[in-house]
Amino acid sequence: IAGEDEMYADIVIAADGVNSFMAQQAGLIRDIPAKTVGVGVKEVIELPEKTIEERFNLQAGEGAARMLLGCTEGIHGGGFLYTNQQSISLGCVFTPEEAAQHKKSVHEIFQDIKMHPAIAPLIAGGETIEYSAHLVSEAGYRGIHKKLYREGFLMIGDAAGFVINTGYSIRGIDLAIVSGIAAARAVITAGDNVAAAGSYYMQELNHLKLMPTMKAADGYFEILETPWIYDKVPNLANDVFNSLFKVSGEVPQSMKNTVMGAMKANGLSLWQLIQLGIKGVKSL
């Protein structure tokens, strides 16, 4: 639909994002809880190819990628950076609900990342040539909508909830492509029998291993919901490694005392770390 123009089809495939208006109008989804989605923002920063190679210690034709943890000021989320041929892509993904609770705006969080001493030198002198934002599902397998179709209507990609967030990577594009292929095959197989397209679609999602893949990654959401892994855990790791590699002329502490001291300084108990470990084992 564009203005007064309307298009008609026997089957409509919704690929309009996590907050799919078409799926809402079709009665397949309701309002999405804020805690189950993340806001992703990204800037593409233009720099000469030679400059990028020098800053990241790359050979011609090579690239680099970085994952960032502890950069969202205690808010559920993380950041990413990767090089392109003549630009750098820098971005972050975080939970809007927690950002509101911390009274932080998207712009503030992202600017703090850009000014971080580990990031600022890498993008210095660059010009932002592209800025984008995207809403993504964070709930994984349990975030897939109960019903992905009705007669004459199928949901794919983000609209269906096909996103996997493991904490160290977010998969969405590949799942959107696979679900699109599944929908296309279902429509072709159904032919004039429009009512059968939905069941064919679900069969194809399993045949192409999309649903089993989503289920295999179930469990990460519980780990990522733990608020202190975004500030206390990174600080704990920094404190431990700082003590291990510090040479001061003093008698060094034992590993046990170093770790326990860092835990106390960051307000973490052994039981909290054990609980996190149990969640991690369950997610495997």
pLDDT mean for each 10 residues of the chain (284 residues)? 77 92 89 81 96 95 89 79 96 83 84 93 96 86 89 95 79 93 97 94 96 83 72 86 84 86 89 81 66
CATH number of domain containing 60: 3.30.9.90
pLDDT, position 284: 60
SS3 breakdown of the chain: % helix, strand, coil, rounded to 5?
45, 20, 35
Domain end (from 137, 163, 191): 137
Q: What is the 3-state secondary structure (H, E, C) of 179-197?
A: HHHHHHHHHHHHCCCHHHH
- Which contacts (CB < 8 Å, 24+ apart) does range 206-209 have? 207/182, 208/178, 208/181, 208/182
Query: What 8-state DSSP symbol labels residue 99?
Result: H
The pTM (predicted TM-score) of the whole model is: 0.73
| Residue 6 within a domain | no
Query: What 8-state DSSP symbol labels residue 223?
Result: H
| Adjacent-strand bridge partners of 87 | 46
Q: Which two tokens mark 108?
A: 């503030």
Q: What span, in angstroms and rounded, lies between the C-alpha atoms of 148 and 205?
A: 11
Do both 41 and 23 map to the same domain? no
CATH number of domain containing 173: 3.50.50.60
